[in-house]
Structure 1
Amino acid sequence: MIFTLNDIALLVVVLLAGLVLGMMMSGRGKYKRAWHDEQAAHRQTIKDRDARIAAADARMVEMERRPAVVAPAAVAGTAVAGSAVADSDHGRDDLSRINGIGQTQETVLNEAGYHRYAQIAALNAEQEGAIEARLGLKPGTIAHEDWRQQAHALDTDTSRGGLFGRSATPV
């Protein structure tokens, strides 16, 4: 019987695969114990992750129950700051509808106590500067992008509830 080079290569591959499988199955359960240990470690990691998520959820619920804290440097001594805390319990406007405000900037504005379009529309120059510094914007960006006018238009708009800012058409 004559073996070709392909037959010899296939035989070597099969013998090596058998050797590797044999080594894995032997070892008096060493690899099986290692596998079970790895499974136990994975289960513990999953439990730890779930516990961290539950703790984070509990912290979020607790933070949502507390009244909003207004940063003194951003809105010190303004009448809008007091109304920001009062309005935070009654809901929030989607400030990201204002051109130039993204989701992260909206979050920062909410943390600063700005939740309503009326609050943005009532900003003065000092407050604009403080907000621009807090958001990391160039000075004059709020005035250039005309946030106050956009906020005023959105505040007076009665069709805010529709999809993509469109009013619902009666059927």
Structure 2
Amino acid sequence: MPAFTTQQWVILFLVFVLGWLLGLLSRSTKKWRRAYETERDARIEEQREQAAALETAQARIVELERERPAAAIAPATTVASPASTLDLRRDDLSLIRGLGPEGEQDLNEEGLYRYGQIIEMTTAEEAELEDRLGADRGYIRQEQWREQAQLLAEGALAEHRARFS
């Protein structure tokens, strides 16, 4: 085994001293690390609180939109009902399997807000709606929207869940 030269011993000694100095310096960074971790945790908590506040606000918006009266536009051939008998509430169309919240919003944009409107759709209106929504032909019939809407309109939520969930 070859022996170390003086120069190699000096380099080895300098590496040892450098390691020792870095070790000493790293001990003093513990307070900075703790400060960093405390700040990081505070920011994470702040982001969680902001996300929770945003979620609460979005839920409130959805609730207010459901309570908001739908724009009732009567066809030109029918006589508009007096305001006292006009029911402007919205049904929760998202309960219909195959729709969900996004689908409910799409139906609202198409002017559908009530289960009764779905129940009363003709086959031609179904086809037009499927085209406007970008759904395949026969999707509404396949997912049994009318049957689901009928059960939900009757308040048979348990039966709806049993048959369509």
TM-score by length of 1: 0.50
Counterpart AA for 1:32 = K
Q: Deviations over 1:30-78 (max 9, x none)?
A: 14312321321221232133124313422432453242667xxxxx866
Equivalent pair of 1:118/1:151 in contact (CA under 8 Å):
no
Aligned counterparts of 1:134 and 1:36: Cα–Cα separation in 2: 56
Aligned counterparts of 1:145 and 1:56: Cα–Cα separation in 2: 30
In structure 2, the partner of 1:36 is 35
Residue 27, structure 1, aligned to residue 26, structure 2: yes
Counterpart AA for 1:27 = S
Q: What is the DSSP-based 3-state SS (H/G/I as helix, E as strand, rest coil) of the residue aligned with 1:86?
A: coil
Consecutive unaligned residues in structure 2, runs of 5 or more: 1-18, 79-86
Aligned counterparts of 2:42 and 2:60: Cα–Cα separation in 1: 27
In structure 2, the partner of 1:123 is 121
Question: Aligned match of 2:88 in 86, 97, 101?
Answer: 86
Q: Deviations over 1:75-130 (max 9, x none)?
A: x8668xxxxx8131xx5366425xxx243565345644544432211123454244
Aligned counterparts of 1:147 and 1:62: Cα–Cα separation in 2: 26
The structure, 1 or 2, with the larger RCO (C-alpha pairs under 8 Å, 6+ apart) is 1
Equivalent pair of 1:132/1:139 in contact (CA under 8 Å):
yes
Question: Aligned match of 1:103 in 92, 100, 103?
Answer: 100
Going from structure 1 to structure 2, the CA distance change for 1:104 and 1:58 (only over 3 Å counts) comes to closer
Equivalent pair of 1:93/1:117 in contact (CA under 8 Å):
yes
Counterpart AA for 1:154 = L
Counting only pairs closer than 5 Å after superposition, residues 3-82 of structure 1 correspond to structure 2 as 23=23, 26-66=25-65, 67=68
Counterpart AA for 2:44 = T
Equivalent pair of 2:96/2:149 in contact (CA under 8 Å):
no
Alignment length (residue pairs): 130
Kindly report the root-mean-square deviation, in angstroms, between the aligned alpha carbons of the 2 structures.
4.2
Q: What is the DSSP-based 3-state SS (H/G/I as helix, E as strand, rest coil) of the residue aligned with 1:45?
A: helix
Aligned counterparts of 2:30 and 2:37: Cα–Cα separation in 1: 10
Question: Aligned match of 1:141 in 139, 142, 163?
Answer: 139
Aligned counterparts of 2:94 and 2:101: Cα–Cα separation in 1: 12
Work out the percentage of aligned pairs sharing the same amino acid: 20
In structure 1, the partner of 2:7 is none
Equivalent pair of 1:96/1:102 in contact (CA under 8 Å):
yes
Consecutive unaligned residues in structure 1, runs of 5 or more: 1-18, 71-75, 80-84, 167-171
